[in-house]
């Protein structure tokens, strides 16, 4: 609380200072973030161009491998010696020489493949007949006929197809296979297989692998055929395959994707001869993180903000010092009274404000003094006038009721009515005080009710529930009578009988007076009714007059509120300050 009190006089300075600092920080952060974003975008674009060239080089190596295999497969398919041997068209005594020639041709073709880590195997309709390296691809010769590879190439005999094949956990192969067809009948007499160890494919991109920079070769089903991450080989990654296909469709060279819960830069190229996708995944944070020196940027930002703080503080403080002093002097006016005048100095604007304030205070003091005096005179005059506005009809009717009671021989009732009438006149016309106790006001109401019941009968009952601790509190004179009268003469036009309840209690520091009836009620309305028509006792007191009188005396926190519902009745609540005779200042 002490800190708040110290800062309060410098509120304008603090606001200007904080707003300026916030703007400086916002601009600095915006500029830095924009610069970082542009740098990242520039780096990603340049990086993608570089990696696209790498992808092109890797693709070229794949195509070169495919070309070598295609040439070897073509030579094997055109060899009549191999066809004759696999078709078993030769006599048994010549098959040994044919096998030798076949082996020589196959070995020669293998030598033409150079240092490619690829072997060759040929098979007839039943089993593998010969392979250049028996241990390289350790498959059972007779199992090849029922293998998925053989079934697929039989359906598409004119194509060289590639397949992923796993022998053991550490041996993964890509098999290039093609059916061998008789050139005259187009009937298959065997097949040629080129087993390629996955390491051969990986060698094409191993030199480009770095932390956060990985490669994948996926078939059309999303199965990993080759990868720089050996633990994912054989797994299915359909989401990558789908992204690669979308990139090809959209003609994108790269795309930023979410993969394995990290932001990645993805480059992809379709390998048509293999019917596979070559995908390069680059961890964006790893690639871009080293580009930006976060620590240096943070230090630069802190330095700019600190410098801005010092400059803004000094400039703003100097501009607002004189204004803050003026505010302190103005705040002291309620404690020092309207006669206090400001001593102003500082900037031109501050001097003009001080001069205008002093002039305003001079005029205000004169006006307030006149207003207070006028209000006092007005309140006395209003109350005196209201007390003189007693309705003659009320007097006539009351006297007629007393006469009737005497004529009927009801002397005791006539005496009670006369006593009530005299007391009512004494407390209303004879008493010129502006405020009375709750006890006296309730007594006046009871006398008024008694007179009306003698005149109109007792079809309307009135009950009083007043908290004993509230009897000594002061309320404005004649404040409740208009509402009792309204209930008597307007609330039971349709109902034959009913009850009016008068309640008074204390609520916190307020005094609450409530007049409720169970009569006809009325439609809800937002504003208090502005009427004093047909008043029986005092013709000048209306509901709205009471509300305005309360607010004039005590302020806008007090007044009258009315709630009503057709057929259910009406409730009027008056909220007043709880004040006793020895506590009040001015009423």
CATH code of 170's domain: 3.30.450.20
The residue out of 181, 201, 221 marking a domain boundary is 201
* Confidence (pLDDT) at 332: 67
Do 531 and 545 touch, CB atoms closer than 8 A? no
Listed ranges 148-162, 303-317, 422-436, 513-527; the one with the highest mean pLDDT? 148-162
- Which sign, positive or negative, has the C-alpha torsion 226, 228, 231, 236? negative
Q: In this predicted model, what pLDDT tens digit does every residue of 391-413 receive, in sequence order? A: 565 666 667 767 766 777 777 77
Torsion of CA 247, 249, 251, 257, to 10 degrees: -20
Q: What is the DSSP string of 231-267?
A: GGTT-B-HHHHHHHHHHHHHT-S-EEEEETTEEEEEE
d(CA 99, CA 81): 9
Backbone torsion region of residue 410, taken as left when φ is above 0, otherwise alpha when ψ lies between -120 and 50, otherwise beta: beta
Whether 182 is covered by a domain: the verdict is yes
pTM of the model: 0.47
* Confidence (pLDDT) at 514: 94
Q: In this predicted model, what pLDDT tens digit does every residue of 528-552 receive, in sequence order? A: 555 554 444 444 456 777 888 788 7
Whether 367 is covered by a domain: the verdict is no
Strand partners of residue 576 = 511
Whether 43 is covered by a domain: the verdict is no
Whether 348 is covered by a domain: the verdict is no
**Strand-strand pairing, 262-271 and 255-259:** antiparallel
The residue out of 201, 216, 249 marking a domain boundary is 201
Which residues contact residue 151 at a Cβ distance below 8 angstroms, ignoring those fewer than 6 apart? Answer: none
Is pLDDT larger for residue 165 or for residue 223? 223
* Confidence (pLDDT) at 536: 47
> Quick check: 322 pLDDT over 80?
no
Whether 415 is covered by a domain: the verdict is yes
Strand partners of residue 218 = 224, 277
> Quick check: 134 pLDDT over 90?
no
Q: Which domain holds residue 186?
A: 79-201
> Quick check: 384 pLDDT over 60?
no
Strands (E), 418-558: 435-437, 460-466, 474-476, 498-507, 510-517
Whether 125 is covered by a domain: the verdict is yes
* Confidence (pLDDT) at 192: 92
* Confidence (pLDDT) at 176: 92
d(CA 566, CA 570): 8
Q: In this predicted model, what pLDDT tens digit does every residue of 142-193 receive, in sequence order? A: 877 778 888 888 888 888 999 888 765 557 889 999 999 988 888 888 999 9
Torsion of CA 339, 343, 349, 355, to 10 degrees: 40
Do 472 and 580 touch, CB atoms closer than 8 A? yes
Q: In this predicted model, what pLDDT tens digit does every residue of 16-72 receive, in sequence order? A: 777 877 887 888 788 777 777 776 666 666 666 777 788 888 889 999 999 999 999
- Mean pLDDT of the residues in the chain: 79
Whether 115 is covered by a domain: the verdict is yes
Q: What is the DSSP string of 127-188?
A: SEEEES-TTTS---GGGGGGSHHHHHHHHSTTS-EEEEEEEETTEEEEEEEEEEE-TTT--E
- Integer distance in angstroms from the first to the last C-alpha of the chain? 35
Which residues contact residue 481 at a Cβ distance below 8 angstroms, ignoring those fewer than 6 apart? Answer: 444, 445, 448, 537, 538, 541
Whether 275 is covered by a domain: the verdict is no
Do 354 and 344 touch, CB atoms closer than 8 A? yes
User: How many domains does the chain contain in total?
Assistant: 2
* Confidence (pLDDT) at 340: 65
CATH of the domain at 397: 3.30.565.10
The residue out of 175, 201, 227 marking a domain boundary is 201
What token pair was written down for 381?
A: 């005059």
């Amino acid at each position: 609380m002490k800190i708040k009190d110290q800062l309060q006089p410098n509120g304008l300075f603090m606001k200007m200072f904080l707003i300026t600092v916030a703007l400086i920080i916002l601009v600095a952060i915006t500029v830095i973030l924009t610069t970082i974003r542009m740098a990242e975008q520039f780096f990603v674009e340049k990086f993608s161009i570089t990696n696209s060239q790498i992808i092109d080089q890797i693709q070229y190596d794949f195509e070169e491998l495919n070309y070598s295999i295609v040439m070897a497969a073509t030579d094997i398919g055109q060899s009549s010696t191999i066809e004759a041997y696999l078709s078993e068209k030769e006599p048994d005594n010549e098959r040994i020489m044919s096998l030798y020639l076949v082996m020589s041709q196959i070995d020669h073709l293998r030598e033409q493949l150079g240092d490619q880590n690829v072997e060759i195997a040929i098979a007839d309709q039943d089993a593998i007949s010969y392979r250049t390296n028996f241990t390289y691809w350790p498959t059972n010769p007779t199992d090849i006929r029922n293998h998925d590879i053989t079934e697929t190439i039989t359906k598409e005999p004119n194509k060289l197809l590639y397949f992923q094949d796993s022998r053991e956990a550490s041996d993964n192969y890509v098999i290039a296979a093609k059916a061998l067809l008789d050139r005259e009948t187009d009937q298959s007499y065997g097949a040629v297989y080129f087993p390629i160890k996955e390491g051969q494919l990986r060698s094409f991109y191993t030199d480009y692998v770095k932390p956060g920079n990985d490669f994948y070769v996926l078939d059309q089903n999303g199965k990993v055929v080759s990868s720089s991450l050996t633990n994912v080989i054989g797994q299915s990654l359909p989401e990558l395959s789908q992204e690669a296909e979308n990139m090809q469709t959209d003609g994108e060279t790269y795309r930023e994707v979410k993969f394995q819960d990290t932001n990645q830069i993805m480059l992809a190229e379709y390998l048509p001869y293999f019917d596979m996708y070559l995908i390069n995944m680059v961890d964006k944070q790893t690639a871009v993180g080293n580009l930006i020196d976060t620590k240096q940027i943070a230090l630069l930002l802190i330095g700019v903000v600190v410098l801005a703080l010092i400059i803004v503080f000094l400039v703003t403080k100097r501009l607002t010092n004189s204004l803050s002093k003026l505010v302190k002097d103005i705040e002291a006016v309620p404690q020092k009274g309207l006669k206090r005048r400001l001593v102003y100095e500082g900037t031109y604007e501050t001097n003009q404000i001080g001069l205008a304030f002093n002039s305003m205070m001079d005029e205000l003091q004169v006006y307030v003094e006149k207003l207070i005096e006028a209000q006092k005179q007005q309140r006395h005059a209003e109350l005196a006038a209201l007390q003189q506005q007693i309705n003659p009809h009320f007097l006539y009717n009351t006297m007629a009721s007393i006469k009737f009671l005497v004529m009927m021989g009801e002397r005791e009732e006539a005496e009670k009515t006369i006593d009530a009438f005299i007391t009512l006149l004494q407390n209303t016309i004879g008493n010129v005080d502006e405020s009375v106790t709750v006890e006296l006001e309730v007594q006046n109401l009871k006398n008024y009710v008694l007179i009306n019941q003698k005149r109109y009968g007792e079809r309307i009952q009135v009950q009083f529930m007043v908290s004993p601790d509230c009897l000594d509190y002061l309320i404005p004179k004649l404040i409740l009578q208009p509402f009792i009268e309204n209930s008597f003469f307007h609330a039971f036009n349709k109902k034959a009988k009913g009850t009016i309840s008068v309640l008074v209690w204390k609520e916190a520091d307020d005094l609450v007076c409530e007049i409720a009836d169970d009569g006809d009620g009325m439609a809800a309305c937002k504003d208090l009714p502005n009427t004093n028509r047909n008043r029986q006792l005092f013709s000048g007191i209306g509901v709205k007059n009471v509300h305005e009188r309360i607010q004039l005396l005590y302020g806008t926190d007090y007044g009258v509120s009315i709630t009503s519902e057709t057929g259910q009745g009406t409730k009027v609540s008056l909220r007043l300050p709880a004040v006793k005779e020895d506590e009040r200042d001015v009423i």
